């Protein structure tokens, strides 16, 4: 789908243009998931509206707006289809780096790609038998460039993307990041992701066989030199926003089912399910869970926003506090989504379990997103910070 030629993008304009696209995604989400049918056309349509320019300064060619604007957009995409929101995660993470780091290597190049509506995929994860985070992918010098060999898993959004970013270990033991076009010789994308939920996130394997990489496509990976080394806070907030969207989607299905299909239980005093006090209570609780999840992610976005403008000790203190807030947000968003998805089945009888409705996808999707990073760790890190002042780890999971 060809995007209109636009000299400048705005948050309001992007939101208006994406509304009908999200409506299409929501209407067809259950069917597509049941048939493993990727939403290529609608994802291209979202990219054509330059969604990832939200939160990037107008002076940089972005649409302006705040981190809260970004998170609200992510929640609404996830409400329409959490698979699509997850598949776009790497693209939004790339955009967030551009927005928050003027020292980002190759920043102008990345910004130009975002301005062109191009999408990104990326992962550091491998199934190599080692501890999570162990990097077996290798990068070595070869003439005036580099050669990368390895295999990455959880390449979220890989089938939608134009660019793939990963990490590799050099001969000197240092870790390097690299970004290459997905059609570069030696790059192979597999559709082999087989989780119980989030099945259409294109999060499968990316094989890298003697992939040639140029100097301007490689950067050293070392976040410890930054004033605030918690680069993963937005990445974790993004996952919480996806959970909030799932909770909202469960609410949408609950309301629609009660209005259009549910029948009162045999001994109910109501003649319509919409009048049954227990159904009303259940829908109200689902709504409360969805509201809670959305609220906490927006509050966290507002706390994370000013960190990027601070320097020195103030930046480190604010970054640590924001990372703890995001960790707490993850706990609440996960539990809210799981509970909302479970309660959905309490608004009707056996009919609510019909496969054609696809209601089970909300719980499966919420559970799969939650398993990215254990919420017990998030709670423990928040508790340690409150009790002893201990800083959260800089592993990218907080």
- 225 pLDDT above the threshold of 90: no
Topology adopted by domain 11-118: Butyryl-Coa Dehydrogenase, subunit A; domain 1 (1.10.540)
| CATH homologous superfamily for the domain 233-388 | Butyryl-CoA Dehydrogenase, subunit A, domain 3 (1.20.140.10)
Q: What is the pTM of this model?
A: 0.95
Look at residue 264 in the predicted model and tell me its pLDDT.
82
| CATH homologous superfamily for the domain 138-220 | Butyryl-CoA Dehydrogenase, subunit A, domain 2 (2.40.110.10)
Q: What residues are paired with 139 via a beta bridge?
A: 148
**DSSP-derived secondary structure for 250-283:** HHHHHHHHHHHT----TT-S-SSGGG-HHHHHHH
Whole-number Å distance between alpha carbons of 218 and 224: 18
DSSP class of residue 12? H
Lowest mean pLDDT segment, chosen from 123-132, 192-201, 213-222, 296-305: 123-132
The upper half-sphere exposure of residue 181, i.e. CA atoms within 13 Å in the direction of its Cβ, equals 6
331-358 pLDDT, tens per residue?
999 999 999 999 999 999 899 999 999 9
47-73 pLDDT, tens per residue?
999 999 999 999 999 999 999 999 999
Look at residue 269 in the predicted model and tell me its pLDDT.
81
Tokens 């939608």 -> residue: 160
- Count of residues in the chain: 398
Q: Are strands 218-220 and 175-181 parallel, antiparallel or unpaired?
A: antiparallel
Q: Could you tell me how far CA 247 lies from the centroid of its own chain?
A: 15
Look at residue 222 in the predicted model and tell me its pLDDT.
72
Look at residue 79 in the predicted model and tell me its pLDDT.
98
- 77 pLDDT above the threshold of 50: yes
Angle, helices 360-370/233-260, rounded to nearest 10 degrees: 170
Output the six-digit token pair for 397: 């999971």
């Amino acid at each position: 789908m060809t995007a209109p030629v636009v000299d400048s993008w705005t948050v309001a304009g992007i939101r208006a243009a994406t509304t009908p696209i999200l409506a299409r995604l929501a209407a067809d989400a259950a069917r597509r998931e049941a048939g493993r049918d990727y939403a290529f056309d609608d994802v291209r349509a979202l990219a054509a509206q330059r969604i990832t320019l939200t939160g990037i300064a107008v002076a940089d060619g972005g649409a302006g707006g705040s981190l809260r604007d970004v998170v609200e957009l992510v929640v609404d995409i996830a409400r329409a289809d959490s698979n699509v929101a997850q598949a776009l995660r790497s693209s939004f993470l790339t955009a967030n780096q551009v927005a928050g780091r003027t020292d980002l290597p190759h920043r102008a190049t990345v910004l130009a790609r975002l301005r062109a509506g191009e999408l990104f995929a990326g992962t550091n994860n491998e199934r190599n038998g080692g501890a999570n985070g162990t990097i077996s992918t290798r990068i070595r010098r070869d003439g005036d460039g580099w050669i990368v060999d390895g295999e990455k898993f959880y390449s979220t959004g890989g089938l939608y993307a134009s660019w793939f970013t990963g990490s590799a270990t050099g001969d000197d033991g240092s870790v390097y990041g690299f970004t290459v076009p997905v059609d570069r010789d030696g790059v192979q994308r597999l559709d082999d992701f087989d989780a119980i939920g989030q099945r259409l996130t294109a999060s499968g394997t990316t094989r890298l066989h003697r992939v040639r990489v140029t100097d301007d496509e490689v950067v050293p990976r070392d976040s410890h030199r930054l004033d605030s080394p918690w680069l993963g806070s937005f990445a974790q907030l993004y996952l919480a926003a996806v959970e909030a969207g799932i909770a909202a989607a469960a609410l949408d299905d609950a309301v629609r089912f009660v209005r259009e299909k549910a029948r009162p239980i045999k001994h109910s005093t109501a003649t319509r399910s919409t009048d049954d006090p227990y159904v009303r209570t259940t829908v109200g609780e689902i709504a409360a869970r969805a509201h809670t999840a959305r609220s906490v992610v927006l509050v966290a976005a507002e706390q994370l926003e000013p960190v990027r403008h601070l320097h020195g000790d103030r930046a480190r203190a604010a970054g640590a506090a924001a990372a703890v807030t995001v960790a707490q947000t993850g706990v609440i968003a996960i539990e809210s989504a799981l509970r909302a998805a479970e309660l959905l089945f309490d608004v009707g009888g056996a009919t609510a379990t019909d496969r054609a409705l696809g209601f089970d996808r909300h719980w499966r999707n919420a559970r799969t997103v939650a398993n990215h990073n254990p919420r017990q760790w998030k709670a423990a890190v928040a508790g340690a910070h409150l009790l002893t002042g201990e800083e959260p780890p800089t592993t990218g999971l907080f």
